[in-house]
Chain A
């Protein structure tokens, strides 16, 4: 493990023979930033340029979204795409081409990326944008750090009037109903649903839809709630079919039937889990994996019905089930989202989980879907290739720029890319 704070240091590290992967905040759930040799980018974290007229910011890739929010929200600027945690780096956001609650309107993180610079194996710095070196742009956004080291990036922030959100919460009794609600509210900028993955029969797919937009007024100062902490790993038996089922029951019935236009602090709206340090300890010593899939919209209802049936029958789910209707996919070679429904479920690691997930893989592929590389720690090369038909283009580009010999992760070797 070595870190760098300047391009000089980075180039020096790249000269050492052997392959490696860049590792920033370590928030990917799988093995995409793990390898026998990793370079830590977190000291490469300076904000270089900010234009208060246009909201354009240039920074080094180790800057975190939290840094950007803390710096610019009080001045009325906010990222136009944020995932469920702010503790990720700008480089990681590009490499995963992360999405957020507004994917159906704003697309992935790469939409707010104007340009970035990329360091190739020989230390050469290449300037990349949609127009300049376009193939590298399309491969790097969503390219899991396998196309070189993302050095600096220029992002476009959006102006916002308030650090608060207007939130609306609706309860839905079954899958069909939540689909209808998502589709009826596509004009609302942000939406996501919590889904009870253990509900079955007539309750299958019961969920709570949370939607919102930036409030028109209110202070720009961030509210700072006291962070909660899970100090110890819970014994792994704490989360089981019955406890989770019980929790889900309470959670579903506990929310008011309907909340309309409630004023919610922006950080609570976007990053509810960031308030709880070490929330992953809930899953016990063996930890958890997240399974995130997307299905084309036409196949979503039948596909998700089958997947939810299997999850509830296996009794493996946990309380973190998240459903979202994506907008159109983009041109990036390995970006995850495509027009349709995405489901993300946390599973506690246990031996019977992996055969079960292989069954789910088949269902996902049969419905024309795919899995999110950022969450993945176990899919097969076959599953990857069927889900990402442009993988060969990606592999070819890696070949052509000599990237395959320099940048590898446990995931890239497993997926054969």
Chain B
């Protein structure tokens, strides 16, 4: 199996790379902006799991480069993980549209730009699977991170549409909705231990969901019920909450 990971330097992506290399013996194409880090990671995966890896430069917000990037991949992937993302700073985003634009550009527009290209290829081949990392933050707008939430929510809707479109062609789309994950992106935040997953736990959950052919997976699984409750709160009440 050939697996392409976009945003391969993220902690989640690395855990997924290890999981699929170990269990599926997947050959990995790692794509990200920091090539130095990427090559180190590739070498590590080769030594640990005796799989083949390849590293490619990829910038999610350089939309014009995406078609060329994908055209240059040979062989084409069977499985694509979209793992790049940018949490940003909500406070800053409220004052500085540049930050807002960046959050939306990375998490949504960049994702749509590259996934549309990959979807066309998968559709034509009648083969392939896409795994997109969205977030539970995208399930309901909250004052503490609604810009990021809006971008991730849009991504989830987009992935749903893609799934609907590609299903007849036998192409699968898996939407991943992580809650809190202990990664570089969140290490400056004080998060509740009970709800905090390690990247390895998330990778295990994603792998299981992929194996079972699921469409949507919450990780940790508890988030499914938490979000069910949060989504059930009437907006009249929700607007008064400090979340």
Which of A's residues lie within 8 Å of B, judged by CB? Answer: 1-3, 5-6, 8, 40, 43, 46-50, 67, 71
Contact = CB atoms under 8 A, between A and B. Distances in A.
A46 B36 contact: no
Contacts of B184: 3, 5, 43
A49 B46 CA distance: 10
Contact of B40 (A1, A40, A46, A67): A46
A46 B41 contact: yes
Interface in B33-49: 34, 36-37, 40-41, 43-44, 47-48
7 contacts: A2-B187, A3-B184, A6-B37, A8-B36, A47-B44, A67-B48, A71-B47
Contacts of A1: 187-188
A48 B43 contact: yes
Contacts of A2: 187-188
A50 to B, nearest CB: 5
B11 interface: yes
A46 B43 contact: yes
B44 A46 contact: yes
Contact of A48 (B11, B40, B187): B40
Contact of B44 (A3, A40, A43, A48): A48
Contacts of A47: 43-44, 47-48
A228 B188 CA distance: 32
A71 B48 contact: yes
Given A1-B188, A48-B47, 14 more contacts: A1-B187, A3-B184, A3-B187, A6-B34, A6-B36, A6-B40, A43-B184, A46-B40, A46-B41, A46-B44, A49-B43, A49-B47, A50-B47, A71-B48
Interface string B180-224: 000010011000000000000000000000000000000000000
Interface in B5-46: 9, 11, 34, 36-37, 40-41, 43-44
A67 B48 CA distance: 9
A285 to B, nearest CB: 15
Contact of A40 (B34, B37, B187): B187
Interface of B: 9, 11, 34, 36-37, 40-41, 43-44, 47-48, 184, 187-188
Nearest to B34: A6
B53 to A, nearest CB: 12
Given A48-B43, A48-B44, A5 B187 contact: no
A205 B9 CA distance: 54
Nearest to B44: A46
Nearest to A46: B44
A207 to B, nearest CB: 38
A50 B36 CA distance: 19
Contacts, number: 35
B30 to A, nearest CB: 12
A43 B199 CA distance: 11
Contacts of B11: 43
A47 B41 CA distance: 8
A392 B198 CA distance: 42
B37 A5 contact: yes
Contacts of B40: 6, 46, 48
B34 to A, nearest CB: 8
A6 B34 CA distance: 10
A292 B43 CA distance: 40
A38 to B, nearest CB: 11
A5 B40 CA distance: 10
Nearest to A71: B48
Nearest to A40: B187
Contacts of B44: 46-48
Closest 9 CB pairs between A and B? A46-B44, A47-B47, A71-B48, A46-B40, A47-B44, A50-B47, A6-B37, A3-B187, A1-B187
B178 to A, nearest CB: 17
Contacts of B188: 1-2
Contacts of B41: 46
A67 B47 CA distance: 11
B150 to A, nearest CB: 28
A3 B37 CA distance: 15
Nearest to A59: B44
A266 to B, nearest CB: 19
A158 to B, nearest CB: 18
Contacts of A5: 9, 37, 184
A2 B36 CA distance: 20
Contacts of A8: 36
Contacts of B47: 47-50, 71
A5 B10 CA distance: 10
A6 to B, nearest CB: 5
A24 to B, nearest CB: 14
Contacts of B34: 6
A138 B74 CA distance: 50
A5 B39 CA distance: 13
A6 B40 CA distance: 9
A35 B198 CA distance: 23
A8 B37 CA distance: 10
Contacts of B9: 5
Contacts of A3: 184, 187
Nearest to B37: A6
A390 B47 CA distance: 40
A3 B40 CA distance: 17
A43 B183 CA distance: 9
A64 to B, nearest CB: 12
A6 B9 CA distance: 11
A237 B184 CA distance: 39
A43 B188 CA distance: 15
A71 B49 CA distance: 7
A74 to B, nearest CB: 10
A320 B11 CA distance: 37
A43 B36 CA distance: 15
A11 to B, nearest CB: 13
Contacts of A67: 48
A5 B44 CA distance: 13
